[in-house]
Amino acid sequence: MQQIIIHVDMDAFYASVEMRDDPSLRGKPLIIGSMPQERGVVATCSYEARRFGVHSAMNIKEAYRLCPNGIFMHPNFEKYRAVSDQLHSIWNTYAGASETIALDEAYLDVTEKAGSWEGACGIARTIKRRTLEELGLTCSVGVAYSKTAAKIASEEKKPDGYFEIPTPEAFVNLILDRDVRVLYTVGAKTAERLNSAGIRTVRDVRDRPEEVIRLLGKQGEWITRMARGEDGRKVTPYRPEEAKSISRELTFQADVDDFVFLKDVLFLLSMSVERRASRVGLYGEGVSLKLTYADMKTITRSKLIPSSRSAARIDREAVSLLEQVPRRPVRLVGVGIYHLTGEYARQLRFEDLLPQAKDRQEAYVPERLRDLHNRYGLDFAGNLDKIFHGETLYRTVEYMRKHRGRTASGGR
C-alpha cells in the first residue's frame, strides 16, 4: 500500500494561543516577539498583522514601522510548550510514526492506522475537529502520498485549511506553474542560480532537467525528481540522541563590554544547558562558546572534554574559552555541548582523587549562586526553576545588565 502522510500545521500558533487566552486580542494585529524599542525579530503574528506586511523573522523595528498600532508581546514559551504537548498527544493517537518539526507542526504516517485513503482523510478531519474542540485552536491539515505534497497541501488553504493531494500527477498539476522555491530544498540562493539560467518555474525544471543537474549536481537530481512528484522520504520520529548539540544563547538589548557580567551570564546559560541535557539523558564530549560582537561578527570557540553535562564543567570550560577571545562589545553570547552521547565516561585525573577536589566540585554551583546574589541582590537559589524559563531568563539577565551598569556608574 502506498504511504499516506498527514502534515499538521497550527495557524499563527503563538498568537492564536494568546488570543484564545485573552479574547480581547481577537481580530487585532498581534505581534509576538520583541518590543518595538528592543532588539529582536517577529516570532509570529496574527493574520490581521500580516495584512500590513508583517511576517515571521522580520526585524521588530520594521514590523513597528509597518504596523505602529499593532499589539506587541513577548513570547511565553513555557505556555506554548505546554500547549504543544497537548497538541502532539492528540495527533500521535492516529499515527504509526510521527515526526515533530516544531512545537506547532508535525508529519504523521497514517498508512496502517487509516487502512485506506478515505480512512486517512477521516483521520485528518478528526484531528482538525479535536484540536479545535479540546484546545480552542485551529490548524491547517494536508493529506498526501508524500511528505513534500502533504506540506504543500497544508499550506494550500491556510488558515483553518484542509487539502488533499492523492497522487504525483495531482501534485505536479497543482505546482507546475509556480516558482521553483515551492520545491523542497530550493531556498533563495538555489533559486537565484536557477533563475540566472532562466529556470523560474517547476515547468522549467521539468522541461530542462539536464541543465538543472549540470548547475546543481546531486541537489539538481533531487529537484528534478521533486518536479516529477517523486518523494519517497519516510516519516522519521525525532530521537533526542540524534541532536548534534544542546545549547542556549541570549541577545542583549545593549552591547556588553563587562566581561565579569558575561561570565555570570555564561554560568546561568551553563545551568540551563545542564537541565536540557538531563531531561533527555545526554552528555556532551565538547563545550562550545558563541559570541556575536557589536559589529555583527560572530565567532565560535570549542574544546573537547570527557563526557559531561555538569553545569560546573560547562561553565569552567566556557569561561576558559571566553578568556581567549578579543575583548570587544558583545551583542550575543551562547554556550553549548556537542558530540552528544548517552554514555557518561568520567576520565579521572590524579587531583580528582583528592577529597578537597571533590568538595570544590560540589561547592562550585552554590558558590557561584552566592556570588550572583551578592552582585545583583537576586535570590537565584530559591528561584532556579522559574529563572530558566525562556522569557524569565531573558528578563533576569536584562535586570543584571542594567544593575551592573548602575553600579559601575555609581562607582565613577
Supply the residues annotated as catalytic.
105
- Give the dihedral sign, CA 275/279/281/285: negative
- Give CB contacts under 8 A, 24+ apart, made by 354-357: none
CB 100 within 8 A of CB 236: no
CA distance 360 to 367: 10
144, three cell numbers: 498526501
Radius of gyration of the chain, Cα coordinates, nearest whole angstrom: 25
- Using CA atoms, how far residue 324 sits from 129, 191, 264, 317, 319, in Å, is 56, 40, 17, 11, 9
